[in-house]
Amino acid sequence: MANHAAKRLSRVRLSTPFGITHIGTATAIFHLPALGINLLTDTVFSPAGTDPAQLPPIEVVLLSHEDHADNLDEPGRLLLDGRKVLTTVDGANKLAPRPGVRGLRPWEKVGLDIGGKKLEVVGTPCQHLPGGECTGFIILADEFGLTDGRPNAIYFSGDIYRSIEHWQSHDSAPSLCHTDPDHYGWKTSSKAISRY
């Protein structure tokens, strides 16, 4: 157990650059320039903030849950149309009949091919208050490289009370690069980059 805990604290550096543009609350764009892909989290654009028309091309939306206005508002709902959207199983059912929406169960993996570039996204367990389904996401790509033989990944925790660490028990889990710890819906951690 002590060895596993020591591994959790080692630093991870992705092999490819990426950027994060924070829009508001839990809404952010993950820019993956080496892949030519932009991921958008929890789509909220009101009250006045960024106009969805000002966004760069968005290939995938990661939606932690659809049933709160601070994670999905009406302009954000319109942005989902015609895009790949990953969310909870319950959220996918409620957002139907959008064909690009897929619900993920905890630890379920989905492979995405976007313009010939491949990503794997894993739904992660999390707990939201006051309740209801909520998911986080681990994003993997070969371009992120390896640390100690394990794939590097980006972790978006979603809008959470408890995150992945509460449930973690996977020795083969990827090395994680946590997102901004100081904004709503983001992974709170003493280290911005850590490994579990």
DSSP 102-146: EE--TT-EEEEEETTEEEEEEEEE-B-SS-S--EEEEEE-GGG-E
Average confidence (pLDDT) over 164-169: 47
Does position 4 have pLDDT exceeding 90, yes or no?
no
Does position 6 have pLDDT exceeding 60, yes or no?
no
The pLDDT of residue 105: 92
Half-sphere exposure of 27 (CA within 13 A, CB side): 24
Residues 6+ apart with CB under 8 A from 37: 59, 60, 114, 115, 117, 119
Residues 6+ apart with CB under 8 A from 53: none
The pLDDT of residue 98: 83
Average confidence (pLDDT) over 96-117: 92
Does position 104 have pLDDT exceeding 50, yes or no?
yes
Q: Are 167 and 144 within 8 A, CB to CB?
A: no
* Record: fold of 2-178: Metallo-beta-lactamase; Chain A (3.60.15)
Does position 161 have pLDDT exceeding 70, yes or no?
no
Task: Scan for tokens 């966004």, then name that residue.
Answer: 55
The pLDDT of residue 128: 64
The pLDDT of residue 103: 93
The pLDDT of residue 195: 27
**Residue 154: strand, helix, or coil:** strand
The pLDDT of residue 127: 67
The pLDDT of residue 68: 62
Helix, strand, coil shares of the chain, percent, nearest 5, are 15, 30, 50
Residues 6+ apart with CB under 8 A from 83: 58, 59, 60, 61, 100
Is the pTM higher than 0.85? no
Residue 124: name the closest of 172, 175, 84, 160 by CA.
160
Q: What are phi and psi of 84, to 5 degrees?
A: -75, 130
- 18 vs 167: which has the higher pLDDT: 18
The pLDDT of residue 86: 95
